[in-house]
């Protein structure tokens, strides 16, 4: 890219992340007023009512800076994960943590290893700091750990693993992931992104945070954006060794997690039952959408997350546009190398039904 300015290496080649359009904007454009948004893997049940109630009492505090150390929230997370609070790094969403990781461990000449179809923020964060991206071809849409391992070399700074991955919903089993991590050279930082961990109900699905004491180069990231229903407030965190947490904190902005976000995350943790309820809605909704998609004779990528990638058998961007005219917002994923797939987030039962009806209509024309 040619610009007037001298810019940092990597920036010119970046394509900005394209977020879903806000519902209000879209409704105005299309003159539709009852649309359903199943485009960003948000929680259709919303956060716990404890959160929304409790935050009302905190609004008078808005002139204050938040606790820059996130003391209370890190304390809660420390109990939850049985890990010292000094090993927890809070982020303005887990994307913020991914950015910090890239800033500490990647620079021009260094390499980030990831899988084809992996979460879009990994290449963005890596390229923004001028690092080279090495992408291993996927196997059955999922991470091929052997292919990823083959790309790891002297210049590798970080390996990014999404378990489960977005947008594919594929996941890695305990044994294979642990073997891969054990086999990594000690200088390589492994990021295991567990943004959707709460949704996964597979006996062989690992909680990588249990390995932190044995693997000093491991970082596990978690978020309040999905199962906890707080995407709009932006809270996520990294669990790591003390040494890595100390490095991440050197680049962390002092007040990166805002006052309401810190409080909301704490209140959300007080109502785990609500989170679990959302997870069971998701399981039902996944069943509903999978059987609807089956009935339409379409293929899909089996998913353990709160979303499903459906092979619509044609250019999914066109199907997406046609669905928009029916008031249903989904996400085409050509930017992930999946031009015929449409990612739909699991909604409430009536939203899922709306989606399936609209999909049937759109595909029959
Ligand atoms: C949604 C998502 C996140 C969460 O991002 P936040 O910044 O915490 O909202 C992280 N990783 C993956 C793979 C995701 O899909």
Of 211, 98, 243, 245, the closest CA to residue 158 belongs to 98
- pLDDT of 220 above 90: yes
Nearest to 131 by CA among 114, 148, 149, 118: 114
For residues 168 and 110, membership in a common domain is answered with: yes
31 is a domain residue: yes
Atom of ligand 1 nearest to the CA of 236: 8
**210, 242, 269 - which closes a domain:** 269
Nearest ligand 1 atom, CA 226:
1
Which pLDDT score, from 0 to 100, does residue 1 have? 60
Model confidence pLDDT, tens digit, residues 85-115: 999 999 999 999 999 999 999 999 999 999 9
Strands 132-136 and 156-162: unpaired
Identify the band that residue 4 occupies on the pLDDT scale cut at 50, 70 and 90. Answer: confident
Q: Which residues line ligand 1 (CB under 6 A)?
A: 41, 93-95, 119, 162, 166, 193, 195, 223, 225-226, 231, 236
Confidence (pLDDT) at 23: 82
| Closest ligand 1 atom, residue 165 Cα | 13
Q: Please determine, for residue 33, whether its predicted confidence score (pLDDT) is greater than 80.
A: yes
Task: Report yes or no on 7 lying in a domain.
Answer: no
Does pLDDT of 284 surpass 70? yes
Average pLDDT over the chain reads 96
> Do residues 109 and 29 share a domain?
no
Ligand 1 atom at shortest distance from the alpha carbon of 97: 7
Say whether both 37 and 57 belong to one domain.
no
Q: What is the per-residue DSSP string for 215-226?
A: -TTEEEEEESSS
Give the pLDDT confidence score for residue 140 in this predicted structure: 97
Backbone dihedral region for residue 117 (phi beyond 0: left; psi -120 to 50: alpha; all else: beta): left
Is the domain of 240 the same as that of 148? yes
**CA–CA gap between residue 240 and residue 3 (Å, rounded):** 39
Predicted local distance difference test score (pLDDT) of residue 25: 83
Taking the centre of ligand 1 as the mean of its atom positions, its distance from the CA of residue 87, in whole angstroms, is 20
pLDDT at res. 362 = 97
Residue 203: which domain range?
49-269
Q: Are residues 29 and 54 in the same domain?
A: no
Q: What's the token pair of residue 165?
A: 């991955």
Same domain, 259 and 307: no
Question: pLDDT (tens digit, 9 = 90+) per residue, 117-170?
Answer: 999 999 999 999 999 999 999 999 999 999 999 999 999 999 999 999 999 999
Same structural domain for residues 30 and 129? no
Report the predicted TM-score, pTM, of the whole model to 2 decimal places. Answer: 0.96
> Number of structural domains, the chain?
2
* Contact of 166 with 301, CB cutoff 8 Å: no
User: Are residues 227 and 183 part of one domain?
Assistant: yes
- Mean pLDDT in residue range 37-63: 96
In a domain, 18, yes or no: no
| Residue 197 three-state SS | helix
CATH number of domain containing 353 = 3.90.1150.10
CB 353 within 8 A of CB 325: no
pLDDT of residue 27: 86
Task: Specify the pLDDT at position 28.
Answer: 86
For residue 228, the domain's CATH number is 3.40.640.10
Any idea which of 7-16, 182-191, 265-274, 326-335 has the lowest mean pLDDT?
A: 7-16
Q: Are residues 103 and 219 in the same domain?
A: yes
**C-alpha dihedral, 141 to 275 to 88 to 126, nearest 10°:** 30
Residue to mutate, 195, 228, 232, 309, ligand 1, most ligand atoms under 8 Å from C-beta: 195
Start-to-end CA distance of the chain, whole Å, equals 40
Contacts of residue 117, Cβ cutoff 8 Å, sequence gap at least 6: 138, 141, 165, 167, 168, 336, 337, 338
Please say whether the beta carbons of 274 and 230 come within 8 A.
no
Give the pLDDT confidence score for residue 13 in this predicted structure.
87
Q: Are the beta carbons of 141 and 43 closer than 8 angstroms?
A: no
Q: Are residues 291 and 303 in the same domain?
A: yes
- 197 and 346 both lie in a single domain: no
């Amino acid at each position: 890219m040619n610009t007037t300015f001298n810019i940092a290496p990597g920036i010119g080649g970046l394509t900005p992340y394209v977020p879903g359009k806000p519902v209000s904007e879209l409704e105005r454009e299309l003159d539709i007023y009852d649309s359903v948004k199943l485009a960003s893997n948000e929680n259709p049940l919303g956060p716990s009512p404890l959160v929304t109630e409790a935050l009302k009492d905190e609004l008078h505090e808005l002139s204050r800076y938040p606790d820059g150390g996130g003391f209370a929230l890190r304390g809660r997370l420390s109990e939850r994960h049985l890990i010292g609070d000094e090993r927890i790094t809070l982020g303005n969403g887990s994307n913020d943590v991914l950015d910090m990781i890239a800033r500490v461990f990647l620079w021009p000449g260094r390499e980030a290893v990831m899988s084809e179809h992996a979460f879009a923020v990994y290449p963005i964060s890596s390229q923004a700091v001028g690092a080279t991206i090495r992408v291993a071809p996927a196997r059955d849409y999922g991470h091929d750990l052997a292919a990823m391992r083959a790309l790891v070399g002297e210049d590798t700074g970080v390996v990014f693993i999404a378990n489960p991955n977005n947008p594919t919903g594929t996941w890695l089993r305990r044994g294979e992931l642990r073997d891969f991590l054990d086999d990594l050279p000690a200088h390589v930082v492994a990021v295991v992104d567990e943004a959707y961990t709460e949704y996964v109900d597979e006996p062989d699905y690992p909680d990588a945070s249990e390995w932190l004491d044995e693997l000093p180069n491991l970082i596990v990231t978690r978020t309040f954006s999905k199962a906890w229903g707080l995407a709009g407030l932006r809270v996520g965190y990294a669990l790591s060794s003390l040494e890595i947490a100390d490095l991440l904190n050197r680049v962390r902005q002092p007040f990166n997690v805002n006052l309401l976000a810190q409080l909301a995350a704490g209140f959300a943790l007080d109502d785990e039952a609500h989170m679990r309820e959302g997870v069971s809605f998701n399981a039902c909704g996944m069943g509903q959408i999978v059987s609807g998609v089956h009935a339409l004779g379409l293929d899909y990528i089996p998913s353990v997350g709160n979303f499903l990638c459906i092979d619509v058998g044609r250019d999914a961007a066109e199907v997406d546009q046609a669905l928009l005219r029916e008031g249903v917002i989904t996400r085409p994923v050509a930017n992930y190398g999946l031009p015929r797939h449409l990612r739909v987030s699991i909604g409430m039962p009536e939203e899922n039904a709306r989606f399936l009806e609209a999909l049937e209509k759109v595909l029959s024309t």
